[in-house]
Structure formats: structure tokens, C-alpha cells
Structure 1
Amino acid sequence: MRATWQAVVRELSATALGVRRAWDGPSRERDLIAQAAKAALAAWIAWAVAGWWLHVPAAFVAPWVAVVLVEWTVYRSLAHGLQQLAALAFGTVAATAAGLLISDTVAAMAVVLPPVMLIGHWRRLGSQGIYAATGALFALTAGPVSIGAGAARIGAACFGALVGIGVNALIRPPVYLRDARALLQDATDEAYDILREVAGGLAEGRLEGAEEAGAWHERALRLYGLVEQARAAMAHSRESLRANFRHRTGSVPPPGQAYDDALTVLDYAAVHTAGVTRTVLEVASADGSAPRLEHQLAGQYAKFLNQTARALHLYGHSRFGRGGDEALREAVETMRDTLAPLRRGLIRSAADDPDRIATYGALLTQAHRLADQLQASVPVSGMRT
């Protein structure tokens, strides 16, 4: 009972937080409210015209189609609208023909539904293929079967599609650049926090047990998920600019190369942060399978990780228009300068010990690759090589 109450409290808190974000300014919550209001408006317009004013037969089809076509992007509304109308028309025509030839509704359904369901899986209809079966069922079960009734349903569906697409395109057409930017920044901040915590653990010698190192590694693995969410959000953002006059008016800047570059850097950051934390976890493991870092080397590596974290932090500011290019160049240069003595120290300490060579080599490889990617992805004019 207590767990249920706590879950209810968490849900209420999350709802209150969403309402506050929507009230405070542009946010995903405000976008959600706007899309819901637009869908309701589209359904109301479609019914007011088709059902209340014109009294079109099967007028209910118009608001039904209108509401489902207020999609998250204008392009998706157009694409899904065409697919849905094609599926509905096919199902309606096939069912009407079957109903006229076979007087028994049950027998007509048995004949027409299998081929209609197969057509619904045609890849060109995409996720809208199911509406072929829906159209067939409406034609056979919602009143007497006739050519006029079938044409009325198709006409109502076309009108509903026009209303839904029109409302979505003309009233606050959705643009989701903010989502991609926020997720990229979240991933950058998480990589920064992980590297800072690992650096602090190395500097303070907190590697006596694997619990904390395991927590770092789990966070590093979850960083992959944040990067993938950012990748999906970027694709969504670009789709939201297609067939969108709001973009052409210049009210929202399009995503540029900065987003692609940031995603590339974060891919590397996720891979190599996971590599670093995995090696640190092996070093901290109770079985002693990997040799521990010497105190001086641990301090040097911690210094490098701190500088890498700072470079990633500044990279986020630089890529998303908040300045700091010069500070970023200096941070990457300092990071590269720290890498050289770290490399010498790791090679010298490994000597001929195969276990140390494997452990230190793994740490050094991750450090080099992350440093190289950062250096290749920032404005580095005038930087020493």
C-alpha cells in the first residue's frame, strides 16, 4: 500500500512539474499541450462542417481522421495522411464490392478481411496499413452496403485529412530543435560529471572496492542511451522542418553542422568513458585481476580526466552558441600537453609486466582517442601540435 501511495505521489509530482514547465516557457510539455489542443480543434472543425452543417453520411469519419492526423510533424501528417487515405479507400472499396456480391455480412467479412489484412502489411502503407481493415469493417457493419455509402465514407475521410493536416500546418506548426539541443546538452553534462567523479576517485585513492567504480561504469553505459536519444531527436527535428512554413519564415533556426559534430564527439565520449570506467572497475575489483595504478600515475590520470571533462563542458557551450571558443581551444591544448607526460609515465611504469602493459595500455588508448577526437572537432587555429 505504501509503495502504491509513493508511486501516486511521484506521478502527481511529475504532473505538477510538467504543468510548471509548460507555464514557465517553451518546453516539451507546452508542445504536448499545443498538439492536444490542435487535435481537438481539428476534430471539432471536421464534425461542425461534415456532421452539423452538411449532414454528410458517415460524418463521424471526418473528425476521426482529422484528430489522428495532427501528428508530431507536418511532414508526418502529410505522409501518414496519404497512406491512411489509400488504406481506407482500398478497404472500403473491397468491402463494398464484397458486400454487394455476398448478401450475408459474416460471409462477406470472411472473404474480404484476409486479403485486406495482407494489403495492410504492405510496406508502402507503413504504420497506416491497419486502416485498410478498419475501412472494410466500417463498410460492412455501419449500415447498409452501397456504393453511395462507401463514397461518402471516403469523401468524409478526405475532408477530415484536409482539416487535420491544415490545422497542424497552419496553427503553430511543430518544430523540435529544442529537444535535440537539450538532449545533446544533457549527454555532454553527464559525460562531464562522470569524468569528474572518476578523476576525483583516482586522485583521492578511492579504489579499494568495486562498488563506486561499478556505479561509474553503469552511468557510463547509460550515457550511450542519452546519445541515442539525442540522435533520434535530431532526426525528429530535421523531419519537423520539412513542409513547415514556420521554418521558412526564419522563426526557428535550422540544425546545422554543430549538431552533427556534437553527436560525433559524444559518440566518442560515450565509448571511451565506458572504456575508462571499465578499466577502473577491473583495477578496483576484489579479485585483483588487474594491477592497481601507482599513486603518482593515478594523480596524473585524474588530472587528464579533469581537463577532458572541462574540455567537454566548454565544447557544449561553444557548439550551441554560448561562446567560449578561445577557452575551449586553450582547454584542449592543455589536455594534449598533459597527455604526453602521462603517456611516458604509463609506459615507464608498465616496464615488462604483461598485466600492467594491458591495463595501462587500455587507459592510454582511451585517453589518446578521446583527446584526438576533441582536438579534431573544435576550432583549433593557432593551436600547437
Structure 2
Amino acid sequence: MARTSDAARAATTTLHGAARAVPTKLHGAAQAVRRAAEHPGRERDLAAQALKAAFAAWLSWAIVGWWLHAPMAFVAPWVAILLVESTVYQSVAHALQQLAAIAAGTIMATELVLLMHNRMGAMGLVLPLVVLLSSWWRLGRQGIYTATGALFVLTDTHVGWTTSGARIAEAAFGATVGIAVNALIRPPVYLRDARASLRAAARETAEILEQPAGRLVDGQWDEDGAKAWHQQALRIQHRVEECRSAVGWSRESLWGNVRRRALEPSSPAGDDEDALVVLEYAAVHTAELTRTLVEAAAADRQSRWAGLPLIHGYADFLAQAARVMRLSGQSDAERDDDEALRQAAREMRATVDGLRRQMLDTVLGEPELGEPEEASAYGALLLQAQRLAWHLDAAAREDSARGQV
């Protein structure tokens, strides 16, 4: 009885939790609809793709089923709705794979049924073969339609080459309609998503660089803080992977896209690639910088480092690198001109040059830095600073050069 009561209370709690979540879910859905109606974004893109898929299926059925009265008319809208893909390139590539899979399964099943005159026996032979064929890497995710094509034949009461040929032809027609609708009616473009990801990652990198900039100078720096900075820097590398995926989608969405000519003058294809390369370098070097700080964060070292001229200069470099990252992550509308970016990059390089000149004098002139461990820690910091500064400065100059063209 006690167990029954506990189970009832748990079920009641679950139902109450689900009931409380419903208004939140409805509010989120309403907000998504509002965003889709008000301005361009992911929600509007998804709504457009859904409407296009529905239209492709309707058009296929209207021609093949309503007008031509084809015997297997349902195949055409089924294939059409599946091939309104995320990009035009994927629509074409997946159409070829899907048609090959459907044709292979259909032909194999038809041949065996006609030879054996026994659908149950043919099913026992052909299904293992088509399931194995569906895992062939050249068919990709469309390989499952090998088994689907075979099942359409095996479960049909009338098996013949005419029926099977009509099924393949209707699949080809549905694929043609799906590709045409996706390519000609508001073909999807993901430039906006890629740039939003790149800017967000640049801002996060700037925030990570800013945090140790102030803490190094005031001496409020410990091993736990350095480890937290390093963990944040490692998360940036995951964001870079997301950006790489977004840039890949952006590039692929322009292949075979009729809107490409209108988009390329204001959105050169190489800009996002260049920004991604710079962000990759920044993420790697930021992780190495923070790792060096973790290794150098012995319990008795922070207060001593805080009073050294080199640490003050290094903190200035981190703040300036953060400013360059933040400015490079801004859109043209957010940034009035490129002079602020160029000036920030020049100041950062000047600081690094000063750190390099101070390095030898500081290590030799400070008795507490006479240990090889201390000197190697400073050397690692300076090396990473030079690499990061070089890449950020090069990116700033390229950005400015593009803005002047």
C-alpha cells in the first residue's frame, strides 16, 4: 500500500510539473511565431522551408495523382517533401542517393518475386540483402530507402515490371519537383547564422582575455582563478567547432543557389573563412595562455608577480587583445569605422614589442626571477602573446583593407 501511495504521489507530481510546463511551452511557441513575423531569423527560415515542403508535395500530387492518375501517385509527393532540404546542394545530392536506393530495392524485389512466384519466400531472401545494401556508404543516410523500395513491391498484390517502373518514375518526378521548389523559391542561405556565431565567439574570447588582465595587476590571482579561465578558454574551442559547422553550412547553401549573385557583392565568400581562421588561432592561443597561467600559479607567486613591470605590461596586452577581438566581432553597422580597430591593433603590437624588450632585462635584473622555472614561465607567456598579437594584427589589417575597397 505504501509503495502504491508513493507511486501515486510521484505520478501526481509529474502531471503537475507537466501542466506547469505547458504555459511556458506555449509562450515559447508564441514568441517564435512573433519573431518569424517581425524580422528575418532562424524561425522565419524554418517556416519558409516547411511551407515549401508542403507546396512541393501538393504540386507533385496535383500533377501525378489528380491530373495524370498515375498508379503509384503517392510516391511522388512522399519523395518531394523529403527533398526540400536545408541547402540546394543537399537536395540534389540526396535525390541522387535516394533514387538509387529506391531503384535498387525495387528492382531486386521485383526480380525475385517474379522468379519465385512466392512473395513470402522472396521477402525472406531480399530483405537481408537490401538491409545490407542500405549500409553502403555511398548511399549515405538515404540507404534506408533501399529497404523501403523493396517493401513497397513485396507488400503489393500486383507485382510487375510496369508497376515497378511507374514507381521509380514517380519517385524521380517527385525528386525533380522537390529540387526545383527548393532551388527556385526562396532557396535557403545561412550567411546570417555563420556571422552571428563568429561574432558571439569573438565576444566570448574577448571576455576571457579581459578577466585575467585586471586580476594580474592587483594580485588577486590564484590557482583556482587560473583554472577557471582555462576551462572557459577550452569552451571557446568548442564554440569554434560550432562556427566551423555554421561556416560550412553557409558555404554549401550558396552552391547552386539562384540568390548567390545578389548576396556575394555584399558578402564575399572568403570573409567568413578568414574570420574563422583568426578565431581558431585566438582560441588556441588563449587556451595556451591560460594553461601557462595555471602552471605558473604557485601559492606564493601571485603577489610577487603583481609588482613586476612585465606583468603590468602583460596585463595591458591582454586588455588590448580583448579590445581587438571585441571590435573584430562587431558588424559593420555596430562599428562606425575601421580606425578604432586599426588603432587597437597598433597599440597591442607596440605593447608586445615592449614586452619583448623588457623580457631579458626583467629576468636578469630581478633576483626572484633567477630560477629557470620563472624565466620559462615568462618566456611561454611572451611567446603566446607574440603569436596571438601577430594573428590579430594581420586580421585587423585585412579587415581594414576590405573596408577600403
Alignment of 1:355 with 2:373, yes or no, is: yes
Runs of 4+ in 1 over 6 A off after TM superposition: 6-10, 288-292, 318-321
Q: Which amino acid aligns with 1:305?
A: L
Distance 1:359 1:375 in 2: 24
8 Å Cα contact 2:60-2:76 kept in structure 1: yes
2:165 aligned to 144, 151, 154, which one?
151
Percentage identity across paired residues of the two chains: 52
Structure 1 residues 285 and 59: CA distance shift in structure 2, 3 A:
farther
Structure 1 residues 354 and 63: CA distance shift in structure 2, 3 A:
same
Distance 1:252 1:144 in 2: 56
8 Å Cα contact 2:194-2:247 kept in structure 1: yes
Structure 1 residues 8 and 266: CA distance shift in structure 2, 3 A:
farther
- Structure 1 residues 112-162: Cα deviation after superposition (integer angstroms, max 9, x where no partner): 223323333333323222211110111111332222221221122112112
Q: What's the CA shift for 1:205? A: 2.6
Taking only aligned residues, the RMSD between alpha carbons, in angstroms, comes to 2.9
Alignment of 1:308 with 2:321, yes or no, is: yes
8 Å Cα contact 1:46-1:63 kept in structure 2: yes
Alignment of 1:46 with 2:60, yes or no, is: yes
- Match of residue 335 from structure 1: 348
Structure 1 residues 140 and 292: CA distance shift in structure 2, 3 A:
farther
- Match of residue 35 from structure 2: 21
How many residues are treated as equivalent by the alignment? 380
Alignment of 1:162 with 2:180, yes or no, is: no
Distance 1:84 1:317 in 2: 42
Unaligned regions of 5+ residues in structure 1, if any? none
- Structure 1 residues 148-188: Cα deviation after superposition (integer angstroms, max 9, x where no partner): 22122112211211221111112111111111111111111
8 Å Cα contact 2:206-2:326 kept in structure 1: yes
When the two structures are superposed, what TM-score results if normalisation uses the length of structure 2?
A: 0.84
- Structure 1 residues 58-85: Cα deviation after superposition (integer angstroms, max 9, x where no partner): 2221111011100011111111112211
- Match of residue 294 from structure 2: 281
- Match of residue 189 from structure 1: 203
1:237 aligned to 246, 250, 271, which one?
250
- Match of residue 66 from structure 1: 80
When the two structures are superposed, what TM-score results if normalisation uses the length of structure 1?
A: 0.88
Unaligned regions of 5+ residues in structure 2, if any? 1-12, 364-368
Structure 1 residues 318 and 67: CA distance shift in structure 2, 3 A:
closer
Q: What's the CA shift for 1:348? A: 4.0
Distance 1:220 1:4 in 2: 37
Q: What's the CA shift for 1:228? A: 1.5
8 Å Cα contact 1:70-1:77 kept in structure 2: yes
Question: Does 183-192 or 371-380 show the bigger shift?
Answer: 371-380
Q: What's the CA shift for 1:97? A: 0.7
Task: Give secondary structure in 1 for the equivalent of 2:396.
Answer: coil
- The structure that has the greater radius of gyration is 2
- Match of residue 365 from structure 1: 383
8 Å Cα contact 2:57-2:80 kept in structure 1: yes
Q: Which amino acid aligns with 1:33?
A: A
Task: Give secondary structure in 2 for the equivalent of 1:332.
Answer: helix
- Structure 1 residues 259-307: Cα deviation after superposition (integer angstroms, max 9, x where no partner): 2221111111000111122222334466x79996333343322211010
